[in-house]
Amino acid sequence: MRDVQSQLRQAIDDGQPVVLCRLVETRGSTPQKPGAAMLVYPNGAQAGTLGGGCVEAEVRRQALRLLLQAKPEIMTFHLDSDYGWDDGLICGGRMKVLMDPVGKDAATRDYYERLFSVAEQGGTEAIRIEGESHELRLFDIDSKLIASLRCDQNLADEAIAASIEPFQQRPRPRVEQGIAYLPYPPRCRLIIVGGGHVGKAVAALAQEADFDILICDDRAEYVTPERFPSAQRRIVGKLEEELPKLEIDARDFCLIVTRGHNHDEEALLRLVDRGAAYVGMIGSRRKIRLIFDDLREQGISEESLAAVFAPVGVEIGSQTVPEIAISIVAELISVRNLGAARSRDLRSCDR
C-alpha cells in the first residue's frame, strides 16, 4: 500500500476515479505477497504492481470493468498455464485480489484518507474476503477501531480487534476465519552517526527499505540535503552535545560510522544502553576491543557492550562502500524483522 500511497492520494485530491487492487491472500508460490497494491486508471495506466505477467493484465482488465460499475469485487487467480508469465514461468500458486473502485463516494475517500495515516504511523487493516460485503476495518497501533467501510454492524469489531497480533512480534499478513489481516508496522528510525561515504550509502539503501533517516555529524558540509536528500532530520554539532538530546525508543536503530576511533567511542558512549532496538558500530575487531575496554573503564556494563553489533553488518566478504552498505542494511532488516536474538544466532553461523 505504501508503494502507491502518493498516487492514490493524488487521485483522490484530483477527483480522479481509480481502482485500487490489493493482494489480500496468497497460497503457494506467487510473485508478490499480501499487501502488494496496484492502481488502475480509466485509461488503462497503472501504478504499482502485483507481480507483472498475464495475471496482472487480467486484473487490469477486470478493474476497468469494475470502474464502470463502481462496486468492489474479490477475484481469485490460479497461476497455472492460463496465467503463465510472459517468459514462460508458471508459479503454481493462487492470488486473491480485492479490487476497490475509489471515486467520488465520500465514505470510500474518507476511509482511504485514514489508511494513509495508518500506513505511516502503524496499525492493522482487516478485510473480509468471504461473502459479498467486502468489509474493511482499520485499527490503530493499539488495536482501536478508527475507521470502517461497508460495515453494516459492529458486532464483529471486538472479535476482530482481539485477533490482531501485537507489533512487537513483527506480524505478517494472514487470513483467519475469512478475515485478511494486513499489518502496517510503524516505521523504524535509523540514526546514522557519521555522514561520510558509508553513512551516505547506508542512508540511500535504508530509506528504500522503509527506514526513516536521521543523520548526525559535527561537520556541516557532510550533513547537507544534497548528500542526504531522503533524511527526515539532519543534525550538525558535537556528538557529545547532540546525541544525548535525542529521544530514543525501541523503534530506533543506531549506526555509528564516523571518521575515527575517538568519534566512534564518543558516539557509542552516548547511544549504548538507551533502549534502541539496535546499536551497531563499524570497525576492525582490534578497534572495537580498544573502544570496549575504554567504555568498561567508564562504567559501561558487559551486558550493554554485548548488545552492540560490532563489527557491524552481515558477513558477505564486503570490500567496497556499496558492499559494506548492503551488508549493514541487511543486518538492520534482519533485526527489524527477526529480532536481535535471532539475528545474532545467524551472525554466529556466518562468522
Query: Tens digits of per-residue pLDDT, 73-95?
Result: 999 888 765 544 444 444 567 88
pLDDT band at 155 (very low <50, low <70, confident <90, very high): low
Contact 324, 198 (CB under 8 A): yes
Integer Cα distance of 207 and 325 in angstroms:
12
Mean pLDDT, all residues of the chain: 89
Strand partners of residue 149 = 136
- What pLDDT is recorded for position 324? 97
Mean of pLDDT values over 135-141: 93
Strand partners of residue 147 = 138
Q: State percent of the chain over pLDDT 70.
A: 94
Task: Kindly tell me if the per-residue pLDDT of 350 is higher than 60.
Answer: no
Confidence (pTM)? 0.78
Question: What contacts 91, CB < 8 A, 6 or more positions away?
Answer: 28, 29, 30, 31, 79, 85
Integer Cα distance of 141 and 159 in angstroms:
16
- What pLDDT is recorded for position 85? 45
- What pLDDT is recorded for position 82? 54
CA atoms within 13 A on the CB side of 174: 9
What size, in residues, is the chain? 351
Q: Give residue for cell 482481539.
A: 162
Integer Cα distance of 349 and 10 in angstroms:
47
Cα angle 343, 344, 347; round to 5: 90
Task: Kindly tell me if the per-residue pLDDT of 226 is higher than 90.
Answer: yes
- What pLDDT is recorded for position 325? 97
DSSP 22: E
- Structure-model confidence comparison of residues 210 and 228, the more confident one: 228
Between the CA atoms of 152, 158, 164 and 167, what dihedral angle is there, to the nearest 10 degrees? 110
Q: State percent of the chain over pLDDT 90.
A: 65
- What pLDDT is recorded for position 330? 96
- What pLDDT is recorded for position 344? 78
- What pLDDT is recorded for position 92? 63
Mean of pLDDT values over 61-82: 84
Backbone angles phi, psi at 64, to 5 degrees: -65, -35
Please give the grid coordinates belonging to residue 227.
548528500
- What pLDDT is recorded for position 120? 82
pLDDT band at 54 (very low <50, low <70, confident <90, very high): confident
DSSP 146: E
The helix or strand, by DSSP H or E, that contains position 253, with its residue range, turns out to be strand 252-256
Highest mean pLDDT of the ranges 43-52, 79-88, 287-296: 287-296
Task: Kindly tell me if the per-residue pLDDT of 263 is higher than 90.
Answer: yes
The Cα-based distances of 59 to 18, 30, 49, 194 in angstroms read: 13, 15, 10, 46
